[in-house]
Structure 1
Amino acid sequence: METITLPHLPQFPLQVVLFSEVKNADFLRQQLLDGNTDFEYAFLDAAVILSREHVFAACFRAINDTLQSRLKSKNVHSEIVFALSPNNNISESFRRFGVSDTTKDLLAIKVASRDAVHTETHLKESVQGTVVPFTDEVLAGMTDEACLRKAYKIDVVGNEADAYVVGMIALKGS
């Protein structure tokens, strides 16, 4: 697990774990649907994640919206999933960017947990998958370009797409 501090929000560290070959995505999704508070994480399908910067932009947006009392979903973790979407349809955001029954590669994010050891232990016990480094190179191998193009309605991928997608997150709702 990696703990990351966004420069403008040091009081809200992000605890991030990237899993590959996840075998129980349906269970994890059901925990979220059931409102199980033990599973208050942003569970993202890594197939539609371009880079660390892409993730950090969504996290910044969600935390900032939380601080400004502008949440459109129920908590900061669901807001991260919503922030990834280029539109304002919450259910579509979860369908495209959140964990689904068919998710194979999963990015789990916990915002501002004081007990990092508990978070890491809980995720490793709950997610049946292999922990892999949260790097741009590993994410690139997980990205499904067709899903990404469809989600963002873009024709490009790579660095150019990353700048475009991060810009969309920053401008959403402004």
Structure 2
Amino acid sequence: MDVYEVELDSAANVTAQLALFRRVRNAKQLKEMVVAGELKCCMIKPSLILDPFQVAVAAHKAVLNENDQRMTTRSVFTEVIYNLSVSKNISQSLNKFGISDDDENVLVVAIQRGDDGSICDILPSVAGELCSMEDLTSVRELPSIKKVYNVRDEELSISSMLDSVVSRIAAKEFVSFK
């Protein structure tokens, strides 16, 4: 199975599970199911994701905020999407990084705690082609990522794009990146 898994909290046995889908035919239905709470996950536009580590950092922050009861949003899944954005506006973050009704590429993110919350429960709902996470490079849009995270060419002469993006996610509460 082409699911990417990253440990978020070894003591609590919490992992993030990511699955990339292409040629998705039911994005509108999936979005409705996520909003209704029928699918325990978030669905992200993969065009704005440079690397799975970017999502892991956002998911780790979401889980920490949930544990500390400091979430900005109502669920750990919307918190993941909110954390991906440099904006402190929840609606703007969800609209930019969450899927749209007509999206054909979707990145599904589940938070598994022990045996609860496996992405395997979600995968059958997606009418699309499950791909390897390596295929992310063919669906991501580097100019869009640079624009969303306000990464300038001068910065890339001393830092990698991934470092710049992850730094913005990590420092969102402390710095404005406009």
Residue pair 2:109, 2:119 contacting (<8 A) in 1 also: no
- Following superposition, the deviation at residue 124 of structure 1 comes to 2.9
Residue pair 1:51, 1:162 contacting (<8 A) in 2 also: yes
Partner Cα distance (1:8, 1:151) in 2:
32
Runs of 4+ deviating beyond 4 Å: 7-10
Aligned residue pair count: 167
Pairing 1:15–2:17 present? yes
Query: What aligned pairs does 1:1-174 form with structure 2 within 5 A after superposition?
Result: 1-6=3-8, 11-33=13-35, 35=36, 37-113=37-113, 114-115=115-116, 119-120=119-120, 122-135=121-134, 138-156=135-153, 160-174=160-174
Deviation by residue 1:19-63 (Cα, 9 ceiling, x = unmatched) = 111111111112233x2x221201111010000111111111111
- The answer for unaligned runs of 5 or more in structure 1 is none
Residue pair 1:17, 1:108 contacting (<8 A) in 2 also: yes
- Following superposition, the deviation at residue 144 of structure 1 comes to 1.7
1:169 partner SS: helix
Deviation by residue 1:49-99 (Cα, 9 ceiling, x = unmatched) = 000111111111111111121101111111000000001111111111111
TM-score with structure 2 setting the length: 0.83
TM-score with structure 1 setting the length: 0.85
- The answer for unaligned runs of 5 or more in structure 2 is none
- Following superposition, the deviation at residue 115 of structure 1 comes to 4.5
Residue pair 1:61, 1:169 contacting (<8 A) in 2 also: no
With over 3 angstroms needed to count, the CA separation of the structure-2 counterparts of 1:99 and 1:5, relative to structure 1, is same
Larger Rg: 2
